[in-house]
Chain A
Amino acid sequence: EAQVTQNPRYLITVTGKKLTVTCSQNMNHEYMSWYRQDPGLGLRQIYYSMNVEVTDKGDVPEGYKVSRKEKRNFPLILESPSPNQTSLYFCASSRAWADTDTQYFGPGTRLTVL
């Protein structure tokens, strides 16, 4: 089944404790992206990657890091989480950057930073 998976689905952590949210897709997509969703603000892009070893900042990259060492995986790293990073996070992928019209989203990761 074609899908985007994220882990963990739920996470409660404390300020300053490094964490990684994994994202994996099995569709051989080149383009991958991370979004955060907050009430009243919609989905905002954090980082994106057009292909392996190619990443770039989205609209809200502060406090986040990403890597793209393999085509299928695109982990989101919070080196020192803070309470304002409490949010719902989605990973998404599409065939190529020119096909950003059809992004496939993972199930989401709900993160709470205390």
Chain B
Amino acid sequence: GQSLEQPSEVTAVEGAIVQINCTYQTSGFYGLSWYQQHDGGAPTFLSYNGLDGLEETGRFSSFLSRSDSYGYLLLQELQMKDSASYFCAVNGFQKLVFGTGTRLLVSP
């Protein structure tokens, strides 16, 4: 089976940098994805790591270490609109398994 752990909540101020960690245990692994979900909205894709290392997309970066079964999402220059829930998800065989999500609260 698969299980993922991520913090339930993280708080930060505008302009800061925040890192959301994700550890996983899985029987099948192709990569790690990150999704953002605003209250009342649908999840939207942010980033994907199929190989070890850092992927950068604008203010967001994601990192994967397969040997450590660990990844993180890094959000830089935080803005109020970044307040949302962030989910890591393991890309397994034919399916995506989500973590329980991290609620990010950005304050002025």
Q: Which residues of A contact B (CB under 8 A)?
A: 33, 35, 40-45, 48, 50, 56, 58-59, 90, 97, 100-108
Contacts and interface: CB of A to CB of B under 8 A. Distances in A.
A33 B42 contact: no
B42 A90 contact: yes
B43 A105 contact: yes
B94 interface: yes
22 contacts: A33-B95, A42-B99, A43-B89, A45-B96, A45-B97, A48-B94, A50-B94, A56-B94, A58-B95, A100-B30, A100-B33, A100-B91, A100-B95, A101-B30, A101-B48, A101-B91, A102-B45, A102-B48, A103-B96, A104-B45, A105-B44, A108-B42
Given A101-B31, A101-B48, A101-B50, A42 B101 contact: yes
Contacts of A33: 95-96
Chain B interface: which size bin?
Answer: 20 to 34
A18 B50 CA distance: 41
B87 interface: yes
Contacts, number: 55
B60 interface: no
B98 interface: yes
B100 interface: yes
Nearest to B8: A40
Interface string B34-77: 00000001111100101000000000000000000000000000
